Amino acid sequence: MKKSIFSTLAVMLFSSLSSAAIISLNITEAGSPSDVDMSTSDLAGAPGVRAGYWNNIASLNGQTLLGADAKYDNGTSVGGAFQADFDADRSTHLSGLAVTNDELMFRGTNQPRDGQTATFTLTNIPFANYEIYVYAGETRVDNGGSISDGTTTFYQRDDGTGTNPLSDGSGYIEMTTTSLPALVTDVTFGNYAVFENLSGSSQTITFSALDMGNSTPDYQRFNVNGIQIVQVPEASSLLFLLMGGVATLFLRRRSS
Predicted TM-score (pTM) of the model is: 0.85
Based on the domain organization, do 188 and 206 belong to the same domain?
yes
Based on the domain organization, do 40 and 13 belong to the same domain?
no
Q: What is the CATH number of the domain that holds 54?
A: 2.60.120.430
Based on the domain organization, do 84 and 186 belong to the same domain?
yes
For residue 30, count CB atoms less than 10 angstroms from its CB and return exposed for 0-12, middle for 13-18, buried for 19 or more: middle
Q: Look over the chain and give the mean of its residue pLDDT values, rounded to a whole number.
A: 83
Based on the domain organization, do 103 and 226 belong to the same domain?
yes
Based on the domain organization, do 179 and 203 belong to the same domain?
yes
Based on the domain organization, do 31 and 90 belong to the same domain?
yes
Domain that holds residue 15: 1-20+235-256
Give Cβ neighbours of residue 8 (< 8 Å, ≥ 6 apart).
245, 249
Residue 162 is predicted with a pLDDT of 87
Q: What is the pLDDT of residues 151-193, one digit of tens each?
A: 999 999 998 888 999 999 999 999 999 999 999 999 999 999 9
Number of structural domains (the chain) is 2
- Of the candidate ranges 47-56, 90-99, 123-132, 194-203, the one whose mean pLDDT is the lowest: 90-99
Based on the domain organization, do 38 and 142 belong to the same domain?
yes
Based on the domain organization, do 128 and 188 belong to the same domain?
yes
Given a cut of 70, is residue 220 above it in pLDDT? yes
